[in-house]
Amino acid sequence: MSSAGGQRPAANRMTLQTFKARLGGASKGFKLLKKKRDALKSRFQALLKDIVDTKLKVGESLKDGAFALAKAHYASSGDDIASSIVERAKKPSVTTKMYPDNVAGVSIPVFKVLRNASQEAIAHTMGVGSGGAVLNATRDTYLKAVECIVQLASLQTAFHTLDEEIKMTSRRVNALEYVLIPRIEDIIHYITQEMDEQAREEFFRVKKVVEKKKVKLAKEKEQAEKNEAAIDAPSILQKKDADIVF
């Protein structure tokens, strides 16, 4: 793999060291992120199952609610329940609160239902004339439905958050696995190659120098011999001294 047109760094021992350190960091990060992704994914799968279950439950409970409402309509003898309920509704008795939950370092919002029964006191006087019991039953049925819906909302939000997170983590894992680490390896490979090359060059140069020197020496030696022969006059000393080269 090429270095994608990136600038080749200077090939020396120091850069090699830095790149080796970077490679170590990247592969450590890669391993960690992969672990995180797997954890998220396993959570995600569990969540999917939960969501399907809850969705079915919501459908069921809403059906129950609609049925209970039909019952209430029947019991309140055609009075318009909706408007009297709207008239009474002032403060919500059911609220949701968000708590953070932590999965592999990702904070996921979890919604919880809070019910303040005291706010419902007004609604209790509904249908005192007739059908009050049925209305109360309807309210309870719908309350269950609301709880299911909130649970579903919580799961869905977690689903979305996890989905985003998994996508991001996968992108990072892939980027590390297929781009960053190969690039660093490539560079390291290049640097080592380059350094080998340099070493070989150096070796060759030294060899060359030695060779040249030898040649030069030989030449000089020859010259000296020639000179000696040319002179060839009886030496002043006559006697050849072994220590004297020239």
Binding site for other proteins (CB under 8 A): 63, 66-67, 70-71, 73-75, 77-80, 83-84, 86-87, 121-122, 124-125, 127-134, 136
Report the distance separating Cα 224 and Cα 218, nearest Å: 10
Exposure string over 162-191, b if 16+ CB within 10 A, otherwise e: beebbeebeebbeebeeebbbbbebbbebb
By beta-carbon proximity to other proteins, the closer residue of 145 and 187 is 145
Beta strands in the chain (DSSP E): 94-103, 106-115
Report the distance separating Cα 144 and Cα 228, nearest Å: 122
Cβ at position 135, least distance to other proteins in Å: 8
Cβ at position 150, least distance to other proteins in Å: 23
What is the crossing angle of helices 181-231 and 13-75, to 10°? Answer: 170
By beta-carbon proximity to other proteins, the closer residue of 125 and 238 is 125
Cβ at position 51, least distance to other proteins in Å: 24
Cβ at position 102, least distance to other proteins in Å: 41
Report the distance separating Cα 204 and Cα 210, nearest Å: 10
